[in-house]
Amino acid sequence: MNGKEKKYTELMNNIRALVEGEDDIISKMSTIACEIFHEFDHMNWVGFYRRTGERTLKVGPYQGGHGCLVIDFDRGVCGRCAREQKVQIENDVTKLPYHIACSSETRSEIVLPVIKNGELIAVFDIDSLIPDAFDETDEKYLTEIAGLI
Ligand code: SME
């Protein structure tokens, strides 16, 4: 198990213990965003955009710098994730024409769909200050974490 996997395993255990028995989605999203943001120094934004309409996402619980309030399904990496309902890993967002730059310091990003009872209810967005920060290890553990919502 490498350092990243070890961190995620511990994080998973903490988050599981914290949200166990909780059924409020916003409380769980808040706790997840907080725990992850404070675990990894390279992350500058960790949080959720909630689906509030057929093709609309609105910012939800997050930690980090400014996040735009509304994202249409047609825009950004978050919109693409919502449309495709597939994990998006972007190694260099500076080369991505459709990326919405909430911070000019962001270099890479992962966005995961949050699906409950077969419906997309949110996307889970994490931004990093370093290029190429996310890989299949992040995808694996973050998918598991998103599944707790
Ligand atoms: N970068 C995202 C927008 C959200 S912020 O990064 C917090 C996107 O392209 O959808």
- Verify whether ligand 1 is closer than 6 Å to residue 87 (CB atom): no
Distance CA 76, CA 74 (A): 7
What pLDDT, on a 0 to 100 scale, did the predictor assign at position 28? 98
Distance CA 74, CA 71 (A): 8
Distance CA 93, CA 90 (A): 6
- The candidate with the shortest Cα–Cα distance to 145, out of 19, 51, 6, is 19
Instruction: Please identify, by atom number, the ligand 1 atom nearest to the C-alpha of residue 66.
Output: 7
Q: What is the mean pLDDT of each run of 10 residues along the chain (149 residues)?
A: 92 96 97 97 97 98 96 98 98 93 94 96 98 97 96
What pLDDT, on a 0 to 100 scale, did the predictor assign at position 2? 87
What pLDDT, on a 0 to 100 scale, did the predictor assign at position 1? 79
Residue ranges covered by each domain of the chain? 3-146
Contact 20, 149 (CB under 8 A): no
Residue closest via CA to ligand 1's atom 3 equals: 100
Contact 112, 81 (CB under 8 A): yes
What pLDDT, on a 0 to 100 scale, did the predictor assign at position 50? 98
What pLDDT, on a 0 to 100 scale, did the predictor assign at position 131? 97
Please tell me the CATH code under which domain 3-146 is placed.
3.30.450.40
Instruction: Please identify, by atom number, the ligand 1 atom nearest to the C-alpha of residue 96.
Output: 9
- Verify whether ligand 1 is closer than 6 Å to residue 112 (CB atom): no
Given the structure tokens 């511990």, which residue do they identify? 10
Contact 52, 72 (CB under 8 A): no
